[in-house]
Structure 1
């Protein structure tokens, strides 16, 4: 067997599983659902003017930034740990499979599952966007597709890494929940904690914020994705739906640029799966 055989076998199994079907359906619903509701609202009020393409895409991007990470991790966190708990890991890692081939095959199968369900949802979004909404833009939509797929696959990799390095399904579940809490809740606390430690009393929230505050904040993949969505559809203007801080004197920092956001996503996309594999290849899993 090769990584491709592992990928094909895993895809077949995950497509048949309730969890795999649930993850695919949930990804599709949250991607396409808003677009469908917008279309229904428009056609139920024939005299009303359709909303703009950019406004609806900002709404979809804002919702996906919150929902997609957990869905993607849920689809990959059991990829290896469930094989260990059922004992089938002996077949997965049996000759001629190497651990690298097993890991890559699992990573690709879970990424394909996520990408396929996301693509179906985005087809619906495109149909509504270009058929109903005002002022659609092909280039902006394609940029959104690339950013969203990369964002989701970042969390597929995090879920797989948890599955590979932890010792039980309970631990892996705790791991992905902890990762979500870290990015969604603990990260901004870390930023404000840094301000509290480095600023005198009465100046905690004073602008401009130091540059490290933005380097840390935008390194969070959720924040990086939100930045890219705002650049694509809102010319990087302040929008309370997506951003908590209005543009201020810090606008010239490299850390608040779209290039830093792209770099952050790429780092998470590459480094986490690699680190997960490096631990997995020397781990006693039999």
Structure 2
């Protein structure tokens, strides 16, 4: 077997999962619901505004979709013992990690693109213009966010040896990187700011702490959003302060988001290579 063989087998397995179909359907329904609401109460419904609303309302759900589909990809096989069967074939540990990453990433991207496909149909039917450039940009950025959390989940799954640890790691990462970051006053960054500026009185710049928040894939997605929406959509213009330094620019946020596609999976592979599977 090889990376592609592992990916093909895993893709066939995961596509039969009821949870994948359920979350796919729910996200597609959310897309339709928001586009339906967007055409009500206004004579000139705007696709870009609804895409911004979708990104805002749907943002907490994207990581859930990715983490649910992926967190047991390797940890589940290690706990059941089937990982030894995979390794008894001409597979390396690298083949397993990369193959699982490719298959789960393909499923996650397909879920998002299918939902946006439904959204495109409703936009054509209900809105004056599809605004295809904006639509494609938001869809692509959302796929990047999904793949970032697929990478995180693969990394956690590869680095842990049991279902319970993989679940705990995924839930913990979701809380820290998404829920707490979307509520910045309750985040780790806020606690760090309180200690460094409030208690130690170091007087560090607010921009520095905002950059630390941007290291979260969820916040990096929000910061990169101005790259794909018109400038008059202010909901996500999070770098609108003219005094903000260059490291808070949307382009930097996009680079951070892309880095999340690689770093967690590489870390998971490194830990998986060191693990005793006997």
Q: Deviations over 1:113-153 (max 9, x none)?
A: 11112221111111122332244322211211221111101
C-alpha distance in structure 1 between counterparts of 2:249 and 2:37, whole Å: 36
1:38/1:75 Cα in 2 relative to 1: closer, same or farther (>3 Å)? Answer: closer
8 Å CA contact 1:28, 1:120 repeated in 2: no
Which residue does the alignment assign to 2:110?
116
In the TM superposition, what is the alpha-carbon distance from 1:22 to its structure 2 partner?
1.6
Q: 1:131 and 2:125 equivalent?
A: yes
Correspondent of 1:73 among 64, 67, 71: 67
Correspondent of 1:193 among 191, 194, 197: 191
1:5/1:37 Cα in 2 relative to 1: closer, same or farther (>3 Å)? Answer: same
8 Å CA contact 1:58, 1:230 repeated in 2: no
Correspondent of 1:23 among 20, 25, 44: 20
Which residue does the alignment assign to 1:4?
4
Equivalent pairs, count:
273
TM-score by length of 2: 0.87
Q: Secondary structure of the residue that 2:77 maps to in structure 1?
A: helix
In the TM superposition, what is the alpha-carbon distance from 1:237 to its structure 2 partner?
5.8
8 Å CA contact 1:140, 1:232 repeated in 2: yes
In the TM superposition, what is the alpha-carbon distance from 1:246 to its structure 2 partner?
8.2
Which residue does the alignment assign to 1:36?
32
In the TM superposition, what is the alpha-carbon distance from 1:34 to its structure 2 partner?
3.6
Q: Secondary structure of the residue that 1:51 maps to in structure 2?
A: coil
C-alpha distance in structure 2 between counterparts of 1:92 and 1:15, whole Å: 19
In the TM superposition, what is the alpha-carbon distance from 1:267 to its structure 2 partner?
1.3
Which residue does the alignment assign to 1:276?
268
In the TM superposition, what is the alpha-carbon distance from 1:41 to its structure 2 partner?
5.6
Which residue does the alignment assign to 1:91?
85
Correspondent of 2:231 among 235, 253, 265: 235
C-alpha distance in structure 2 between counterparts of 1:65 and 1:158, whole Å: 16
8 Å CA contact 1:157, 1:269 repeated in 2: yes
C-alpha distance in structure 2 between counterparts of 1:42 and 1:183, whole Å: 29
Which residue does the alignment assign to 1:264?
256
180-189 vs 106-115, greater mean Cα deviation = 180-189
Gaps of 5+ in 2: none
8 Å CA contact 1:4, 1:105 repeated in 2: yes
CA RMSD of aligned residues (A): 2.8
C-alpha distance in structure 2 between counterparts of 1:40 and 1:136, whole Å: 14
Correspondent of 1:225 among 218, 221, 226: 221
In the TM superposition, what is the alpha-carbon distance from 1:250 to its structure 2 partner?
3.8
1:269/1:134 Cα in 2 relative to 1: closer, same or farther (>3 Å)? Answer: same
1:275/1:281 Cα in 2 relative to 1: closer, same or farther (>3 Å)? Answer: same
1:194/1:144 Cα in 2 relative to 1: closer, same or farther (>3 Å)? Answer: same
Gaps of 5+ in 1: none
